[in-house]
Amino acid sequence: MGYHKYKKIVDACLKCMALCTNCASLCLKEENVKMMAGCIQLDMECATVCYTTAQLMNLGSSMVSEISFLCADLCEACAAECEKHDNDHCKECAEACRNCAKECRSLLA
């Protein structure tokens, strides 16, 4: 089963992982890095759980529901933090996080 069964979710997770990593990297270049610390931390956590979710889905893990729930929650938290900042990379990250959370929640419906 793996990838083909969960393709839409896996693709959303991998896109979110890439944009969260990009966001964290660009936040580190902001003038006031301390102000971005919470965003950077959530970006890194979200990227990690998105990658892990995609990997477990590809493997056909029996823990897909549990990891999808966690991924959706973390994506929503990351999106909420990114939406506090007025820059393009945070906005793009927030959009990817919201989409990933929606896709992960679709599995749980």
State pLDDT tens for residues 23-32: 999 999 999 9
More confident residue, 93 or 1: 93
What is the value of pTM for the model shown? 0.95
Residue 48, token pair as written in the block:
């990690």
In Å, how far are 11, 15, 31 from 34, measured between CA atoms? 32, 26, 9
Q: In the chain, where are the structural domains located?
A: 2-28+35-108
With a CB cutoff of 8 Å and minimum separation 6, the contacts of 19 are: 89, 92, 93, 96, 97
- Interatomic CA distance for residues 56 and 101, integer angstroms: 16
pLDDT at 105 over 80: yes
The domain over range 2-28+35-108 is classified in CATH as 3.40.50.300: no
Mean pLDDT of 75-81: 98
- pLDDT category, 60, cuts 50, 70, 90? very high
Other Cβ atoms less than 10 A from the Cβ of 32: the count is 7
Tell whether the model's pLDDT for residue 2 goes beyond 80: no
